[in-house]
Amino acid sequence: NAGVTQTPKFQVLKTGQSMTLQCAQDMNHEYMSWYRQDPGMGLRLIHYSVGAGITDQGEVPNGYNVSRSTTEDFPLRLLSAAPSQTSVYFCASSLSGSSYEQYFGPGTRLTVT
Amino acid sequence: DAKTTQPPSMDCAEGRAANLPCNHSTISGNEYVYWYRQIHSQGPQYIIHGLKNNETNEMASLIITEDRKSSTLILPHATLRDTAVYYCIVRAYSGNTPLVFGKGTRLSVIA
């Protein structure tokens, strides 16, 4: 199993540009989520999904959109990038929302200038 | 907000036991204690979890006080590769409750 994969690893955007961060898992996990981590801070939840077609907001959802059309993929869209969205983004998955172990991807480092 | 309090940093000599404390005085009866760690800039990694009994796995031991208001993660023989940020998280077991990360404890293992 590849586990949780994220692309790209690094990205630089200009203010106002849009892009999609990709996240995929091959473990048939129902639960997937997106976090952001700012320097010196813990991870903060952006959005999560408990299965295909079901998504919900986390702690910091503003400026981000998600959809879950398949079990495997959970893309995160930035509609109009802002410098405040400069961060490292982590995707995670688990068998279900109550699973004790979540598996995290390697992260995408995003810089918005 | 995170429901736990951890020291911001700790040092440990290589080969010695690392004891990482965590306070969770407002923990509810249906909430478990989870520990994750984040090595350098990698994604967090699950270590162990428990409800009220002490737990041990190949990575660590988790000691939870009888009143469940605090716990200690023990790495029995710390190595340089255990240098990381360790997060103590309190989370309800049922439902789709997300993991809420605080700032954690930065453990430095020193040769």
SS (H, E, C) A19-38: EEEEEEECCCCCEEEEEEEC
Give the residue among A84, A81, A108 at the shortest CA–CA distance from A5: A108
* pLDDT tens digits for range B50-77: 999 899 999 999 999 999 999 999 999 9
**Any chain B CB within 8 A of the CB of A66?**
no
Facing residue for A42 by CB, picked from B32, B43, B102: B102
Side-chain-facing half-sphere of B22: CA atoms under 13 Å: 32
Q: Which residues pair with A90 in a beta bridge?
A: A35
Using CA coordinates, name the residue in chain A closest to B2.
Answer: A42
CB contact under 8 A, A106 and B42: yes
**Any chain A CB within 8 A of the CB of B104?**
yes
Chain A interface, mutation test: which of B51, B91, B99, B100, most A Cβ atoms within 10 Å? B99
Specify the pairing of strand B70-75 against strand B84-92: unpaired
Note the Cα B24 to chain centre separation in Å. Answer: 11
Chain A interface, mutation test: which of B55, B96, B97, B105, most A Cβ atoms within 10 Å? B96
CA B102 to chain A, closest CA, distance in angstroms equals 5
Q: Whole-angstrom Cα distance, residue A104 to residue A92? A: 4
* pLDDT tens digits for range A36-85: 999 888 899 999 999 999 999 999 999 999 999 999 999 999 999 999 99
Chain B interface, mutation test: which of A104, A108, A110, most B Cβ atoms within 10 Å? A104
Instruction: Tell me the pLDDT of chain B (111 aa) as tens digits.
Output: 558 999 999 999 999 999 999 999 999 988 999 999 999 889 999 999 999 989 999 999 999 999 999 999 999 999 999 999 999 999 987 777 888 898 999 999 999
Q: Which amino acid is at A77?
A: R
Q: Whole-angstrom Cα distance, residue B98 to residue B104? A: 17
Q: Are B20 and B72 in contact (CB under 8 A)?
A: yes
